[in-house]
Amino acid sequence: MNAESVSPVDWPLDIHRVLEAAGIRQVSYVPDAGHAGLIRACQATPSMRTVKLTTEEEGVALAAGAWLGGQRSALLMQSSGVGNCVNMLSLVTACRFPLLTIVTMRGEWAEFNPWQVPMGTIVEPVLRLCNVLTYRVDRAEEAGETVQAAADLAFGGDLAVAVLLSQRLIGRKQWVHG
């Protein structure tokens, strides 16, 4: 097979297909360019309700409410939002409900903004300290399968599971001078 016949993997649509098949009915998010394709796909899906958040910890509360109401949800956030959720993540452990979160990473490969680096370097250990299991995706072809494994674990075991989408996967962000 030559390079011209290989089509690139559309990882946001792969993730969307997994969320839809997993019965996700509520998708909460703080607007993020890394999640833009996934957010658009969820917004276009009649069986999914998207909820724009003002801060990421609201998404943890929304996941609790969705579960109590008999629905599954997913929380989309950028790595900088993980720090906003630390206190609220104790709710998941204390109340034992599933939390599936997909985190676009910043502060890694080809980062232009030094303010993103401190949180980007500690996201995974912070999540683990908060009893959130983590999976990491570095290659587009791994995205769907990894989110499926995370959803199975989260909803099958009432656990908190985060999928970290590496900055290399989501692509280099460019500083735009205004």
Q: Report pLDDT digits (tens) over 21-46.
A: 999 999 999 999 999 999 999 999 99
Q: Radius of gyration (Cα) for the chain, nearest Å?
A: 16
CATH number corresponding to 3-170: 3.40.50.970
Please give the Cα distance from 76 to 35 (Å, whole number): 7
Average pLDDT of the residues in 59-83: 97
What is the band of 2 on the pLDDT scale with cuts at 50, 70, 90? very low
Answer yes or no: pTM beyond 0.85. yes
Please give the Cα distance from 61 to 69 (Å, whole number): 12
Quote the mean pLDDT of the chain. Answer: 92
Please give the Cα distance from 120 to 97 (Å, whole number): 26
Q: Report pLDDT for 142.
A: 97
What is the band of 89 on the pLDDT scale with cuts at 50, 70, 90? very high
Q: Report pLDDT digits (tens) over 95-140.
A: 999 999 999 998 888 878 888 878 889 999 999 999 999 999 999 9
Share of the chain above pLDDT 70, in %: 92
Q: Is pLDDT larger for residue 51 or for residue 2? A: 51
- What tokens appear for 87 in the block? 């206190």
Please give the Cα distance from 112 to 127 (Å, whole number): 24
Strands 72-78 and 99-104: parallel
Q: Report pLDDT for 175.
A: 61
Task: Give every strand in the sheet of 49-52, ordered side by side.
Answer: 49-52, 24-29, 72-78, 99-104, 160-165, 132-137
Please state the domain extents for the chain. Answer: 3-170
